[in-house]
């Protein structure tokens, strides 16, 4: 396939579907979460989508593979949300902070929410195929 215009390499979803074990996938997600590696998650989400498109072009795609890839992409999205939550802490996560500084609490909570939303939006834009 022509991969000169792609941001990231496509993954071979057909071989991954047949070879990848659940435990291996969970270990990958765990490492990405612990390392807070959002770039790796971007590359894998993009790679899964590009790989599924390649499989469809070669007529290798089946409903089972499609569903499997969608589940893996959703797993990546969930971990990305958790990583963003770790990277940008929100005062809403600590309810005792509201009693100490009520006005600052609201301002900081809104700012943190905007930051999280921007980072998640960037994740989805960069990782879309």
- Give the chain's radius of gyration (CA, Å): 18
DSSP 2: -
| Residue 47 belongs to some domain of the structure | yes
pLDDT in tens, 6-48: 778 888 888 888 888 889 889 999 998 999 888 889 999 999 9
| Residue 1 belongs to some domain of the structure | no
| Residue 76 belongs to some domain of the structure | yes
| Residue 105 belongs to some domain of the structure | yes
| Residue 8 belongs to some domain of the structure | no
Residue 95's domain spans which residues? 13-127
Percent of the chain with pLDDT over 90: 22
Q: Which parts of 1-129 fold into alpha helices (H)?
A: 13-19, 22-35, 38-57, 63-87, 96-100, 102-127
| Residue 84 belongs to some domain of the structure | yes
Number of domains into which the chain is organized: 1
Say if residue 42 is exposed, middle or buried (CB neighbours under 10 Å; 0-12, 13-18, 19+): buried
Mean pLDDT over 101-105 rounds to 70
| Residue 2 belongs to some domain of the structure | no
Predicted TM-score (pTM) of the model is 0.79
pLDDT band at residue 122 using 50, 70 and 90 as cut-offs: confident
| Residue 44 belongs to some domain of the structure | yes
């Amino acid at each position: 396939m022509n991969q000169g215009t792609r941001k990231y390499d496509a993954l071979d979803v057909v071989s991954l579907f047949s070879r990848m074990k659940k435990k291996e996938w969970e270990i990958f997600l765990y490492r990405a979460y612990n390392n807070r590696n959002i770039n790796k998650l971007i590359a894998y989400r993009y790679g899964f989508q590009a790989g599924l498109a390649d499989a469809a072009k070669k007529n290798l795609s089946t409903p089972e593979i499609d569903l499997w890839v969608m589940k893996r992409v959703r797993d990546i999205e969930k971990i990305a949300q958790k990583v963003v939550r770790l990277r940008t802490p929100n005062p809403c996560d600590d309810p005792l902070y509201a009693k100490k500084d009520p006005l600052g609490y609201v301002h900081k909570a809104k700012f943190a929410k905007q930051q999280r939303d921007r980072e998640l939006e960037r994740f989805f834009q960069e990782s879309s195929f």
